Amino acid sequence: MSSSSTASAVDPELEKLLSREASEFQREVEVNRILKALKLNPYDILDLDESATQDDIKKRYRQLSLFIHPDKCSHERAPEAFDILKKVNFSRLPPKKMQLKCIQAESELSDKAQREELDAIIKQARILALKALSLPTSTPDSDPNLKSLNPSFKVRIRAQSKELLIDEEVRRRKAIKMNLANEGLEARKKDEEIAGKKRKAEEDRQWEGMFLSLSFPTPMFTCML
């Protein structure tokens, strides 16, 4: 058997091995990227731009779900990354209804109201990034001044978005804490009011008991004839 025929026989197996190793390496890259992504921003987790369509979002979510699934990825932190992909701490509710909600990143971006709110933050981040560059806020992405930036304009927007989202999350948590404190104060006031009424009722009962237990001498009257 010639060396060329032997090489051709080995090549398919070698290619499969290299393909598996490359695939595993890419899985590890995605796991590490998701672990480092800002958990408040589904775009970061899915590695998508805000211009992504609903089909793009669904497709990307399903690709990542299959790609880094713990059953297919040997990375020791694959379960953690998979959980991050599925669940995102997100709450934009009014103060009276504030609570932590676990929802899928795909669903979060698929919800029109939630996505519009997130997009508004990213638009604000873009404006701030342009102002930091002393450029008009109407500057388009195709402007030559944005093409040769280092770090890139996209990276700058992501960084600014991260700051805005973190600031909002801090405000949200403070609002929740204040709301819970107020609720606790109201509860304590009610408890104290109830305890005060019970104490007053008990004191009244004790006073009535003492009053009834007192014996008064029968008055003596002398009849003068």
Q: What angle in degrees, to the nearest 10, is found between the helix axes of 153-213 and 112-132?
A: 120
Cα separation, 10 vs 129, whole angstroms:
54
* CATH for the stretch 16-90: 1.10.287.110
Please check the confidence at residue 212 and state whether its pLDDT lies above 70.
no
Residues 167-197 pLDDT 10s: 888 888 888 888 888 877 777 888 888 887 8
Cα separation, 104 vs 123, whole angstroms:
23
Q: Which residue has the higher pLDDT, 170 or 93?
A: 170
Residues 95-146 pLDDT 10s: 333 333 334 555 556 567 777 888 888 899 999 999 999 999 999 989 998 9
In this prediction the pTM is 0.51
- Confidence band, pLDDT 50/70/90 cuts, at residue 1: very low
Please check the confidence at residue 59 and state whether its pLDDT lies above 60.
yes
What residues does each domain of the chain span? Answer: 16-90
